[in-house]
Amino acid sequence: MVRVRFAHFSDTHLGFRQYGLYEREMDFYRAFEKTIAKIAEERPDFVLHCGDLFDAPKPPPRALWVAQRSFAKLKETGIPVSAITGNHDMLFRRGSMPPQVLYKDMGVRMLTEEEPFLMHKDIFIGGVPYHSKHYSESLRESLRVLSSKASKHAKSIIMIHQATDRHMPKAFELEISEIPKNFSYYAMGHLHARITESFGKGKIVYPGPAELWSLNEYEDYKRKGRGFTLVDLDGNVPEVQHVNIEPERELIRETVNAGAAEAKIRQLREEFQKMRKKPLLYLDVKEGGFDKSGLHELITAKLSDHVLSFRVSYVTEQDRPDRARIERSFDLPQINEILKELLHDEKHAKLAGMLFRSLSAGNEEQASKEAESFYKSMGGGT
C-alpha cells in the first residue's frame, strides 16, 4: 500500500464579523490563508474540510474571494480538497446548494447525500453533511450505508460535522455509540476544541479552528493550541500530528479585584502597548463594593486606545454561580440556530445573537452600536 498523508481542518467561519468588528472579520480571513499556506508547505496527498467553511450560507463577497484564492493555491500544488457542509454554511431548504460548490474548478469535491463518498487511490473517503437532531434517523442511516461500503476497504475515512454526547453532553446531535467503528479515521467538525481519541479501530479527531470564535474556546486554546491536523495512514493506527496556527491577535482574559483595579489596568496598558495588534480583552471584576460606572469609565479611559474591544463582567460572591453560567453559555454556537428557528429571519437572528452576547457581557454601549449599524445597513434611520 502506498503511504498516504492528509490534512484535516474545519470550522473556519469565513465572513464572521465578531462583535460587529471589521478587524475581526479580517482576522478570520488571515487565519484561513495562513492555514492554507502551511498545508501547501506540508504537501499532503489531499485535504479534508469538515464543515462551516463559511459563517453563513450566503457569505459576503470577500469571504467567497478569500476561499477561491486559497483553494486555487492548493490546486496549483496538486492537492485536492474534499469537503462537507456544516450547520453554518448550509441552507436548510430542499434542493439548495452550499457555497462550497462554487469551487469545483479549484479542486474542491463536495461529499453530499447524493454523492457521499469517493476513492483516493485505495483509500475510501465518506462524508455526511450536518444533520440537526430532528433528522437523527437520516444521519444514522447515512452512517450505516457508508460503514457498509467502507468495510470493503483496508483503509477508510469518515467526515462528520456533528457534536456527540461524549464531547458535548448538553447539546449533541449524535450519540457516540451510533457511530460505526470500522473506519480508520474519523474527521470531525462542529466542536471548537482540539480533541484526539482512540475510537473503534482508528482515531476520532476534532482539530479545532485556527481562529477563536468565542470566549468559550479560550481555555482549550491556551492548553492545546489551534490549527489543523496532519494524518499519516501508513500504520495500523493513524498517526496524528497537530500543527498550530497562531491567532491573528491575542485574546486575553484577566480577573481583577475591584480594590486593585487601577494598578491592574495600568499594568495591562503597558503590556498592550508592546503588542503587534490590539488584543481582545475580557475582564472579570470580582469582590463587592465597586462602582460599576466609575470602573467602566476608568477602563475606557486607560485601555480603549490599546484594545480592539473589551468586555467586562462584574462578579460578586453572591452571584458568581449565575454569572459563571451566563459566561459559559452566551457564546455557544447553538444560540444562532435557536434564534433562526424562533425569528424565521437570518439577518434579524444574527442581530439578536450579537445583542445577546454584548448584553450578557454587560456591554450596553456595544449593543447599541450593533443595533444602530444593523438598521443603517437595512436602510433605516438612526
pLDDT (tens digit per residue) in 291-308: 788 888 898 999 999 999
Q: How does pLDDT run across 314-369, given as a tens digit for each residue?
A: 876 555 444 443 333 333 444 555 566 566 676 777 777 767 765 655 555 556 65
Instruction: Express each pLDDT in 44-103 by its tens digit.
Output: 999 999 999 999 999 999 999 999 999 999 999 999 999 999 999 987 666 678 899 999
Catalytic residue, candidates 8, 13, 49, 88: 88
Is the pLDDT at 24 greater than 90, yes or no? yes
Q: Give the pLDDT confidence score for residue 225 in this predicted structure.
A: 92
Residue 287 confidence (pLDDT):
74
pLDDT over 90, % of the chain: 66
Check whether 258 has a pLDDT greater than 70: yes
Q: What percent of the chain stands above pLDDT 70?
A: 82
**DSSP reduced 3-state for 155:** strand
Q: What is the DSSP string of 258-310?
A: GGGHHHHHHHHHHHHHT-SSPPEEEEEEESS---HHHHHHHHHHHHTTT-SEE
Convert the pLDDT of each residue in 111-149 to its tens digit. Answer: 999 999 999 999 999 999 999 988 999 999 999 999 999
Q: Are 113 and 129 in contact (CB under 8 A)?
A: yes
pLDDT of residue 248: 83
Residue 228 near residue 239 (C-beta atoms within 8 A): no
Examine the residue annotation and report whether 88 is marked as an active-site residue of this protein: yes
Domains, the chain, in order of start with CATH, read 5-244 (3.60.21.10), 251-377 (3.40.50)
User: pLDDT category, 244, cuts 50, 70, 90?
Assistant: very high
Grade residue 207 by pLDDT with cuts at 50, 70 and 90.
very high
Helix, coil or strand: residue 193? coil
pLDDT of amino acid 314 = 83
Question: First CA to last CA across the chain, in angstroms?
Answer: 65
CB atoms within 10 A of CB 46: 23
> What would the DSSP string read from start to end of 163-190?
-BTTT-TTS-SB-GGGS-S--SEEEEES
pLDDT given for residue 342 in this prediction:
63
Which pairing describes strands 117-120 and 123-128: parallel, antiparallel, or unpaired? antiparallel
Q: Give start and end residues of each alpha helix (H) in the chain.
A: 22-42, 61-76, 136-150, 218-224, 261-273, 292-303, 320-329, 334-343, 346-360, 364-377
What is the number of other CB atoms lying within 10 angstroms of the CB of residue 20? Answer: 20
